[in-house]
Amino acid sequence: MSTYRDFAHRGSARATVLKTVGTKERRSHLTAPRVPTVGIDIGGTKVMAGVVDADGNILEQLRTETPDKSKSPKVVEDTIVELVLDLSDRHDVHAVGIGAAGWVDADRSKVLFAPHLAWRDEPLRDAIASRLVVPVMVDNDANTAAWAEWRFGAGRGEDHLVMITLGTGIGGAILEDGQVKRGKYGVAGEFGHMQVVPSGHRCPCGNRGCWEQYSSGNALVREARELAAADSPVAHYLLDRVKGNVSDITGPLITELAREGDAMCIELLQDIGQWLGIGIANLAAALDPSCFVIGGGVSAADDLLINPARDAFKRHLTGRGYRPEARIAKAQLGPEAGMVGAADLARLVARRFRRANRRRVERYERYAQIYDQAASTIRNTRSTRTAD
**Pairwise CA distance, residues 41 & 50, whole Å:** 9
Q: What is the pTM of this model?
A: 0.77
CATH says 156-332 is which class?
A: alpha beta
Task: Calculate ∠ Cα 343-54-300, nearest 5°.
Answer: 60
In degrees to the nearest 10, what's the CA dihedral of 193, 175, 46, 208?
A: 0
Write the CB contacts of 89 (distance below 8 Å, at least 6 apart in sequence). none
For the stretch 75-132, pLDDT in tens is 889 999 999 999 999 999 999 999 998 889 988 899 998 877 888 999 999 999 999 9
pLDDT over threshold 60, residue 336: yes
pLDDT over threshold 60, residue 355: no
3-state helix, strand, coil in the chain (%, to 5): 50, 20, 35
Q: Is-same-fold flag (4-147+337-365; 156-332)?
A: yes
In Å, how far are 6, 35, 121, 195 from 179, measured between CA atoms?
30, 22, 25, 27
**Pairwise CA distance, residues 279 & 164, whole Å:** 10
In Å, how far are 6, 127, 134, 269, 281 from 353, measured between CA atoms?
12, 18, 10, 45, 41
**Pairwise CA distance, residues 291 & 326, whole Å:** 5
How far is C-alpha 3 from the chain's CA centre? 26
Q: Using 50, 70 and 90 to split pLDDT, how confident is the model at 13?
A: very low
In the chain, pLDDT over 70 holds for what percent of residues? 83
**Pairwise CA distance, residues 343 & 41, whole Å:** 10
For the stretch 356-366, pLDDT in tens is 555 554 555 56
Sign of CA dihedral 105, 109, 115, 121: negative
For the stretch 16-27, pLDDT in tens is 333 333 445 544
Model pLDDT, residue 168? 87
Say which CATH topology domain 4-147+337-365 has: Nucleotidyltransferase; domain 5 (3.30.420)
Sign of CA dihedral 228, 233, 238, 243: positive
pLDDT over threshold 50, residue 326: yes
**Least-confidence region, from 115-119, 141-145, 177-181, 373-377:** 373-377
Average pLDDT, the chain: 86
Model pLDDT, residue 22? 41
Query: Any idea where the domains of the chain sit in the sequence?
Result: 4-147+337-365, 156-332
Model pLDDT, residue 21? 39
Model pLDDT, residue 15? 34
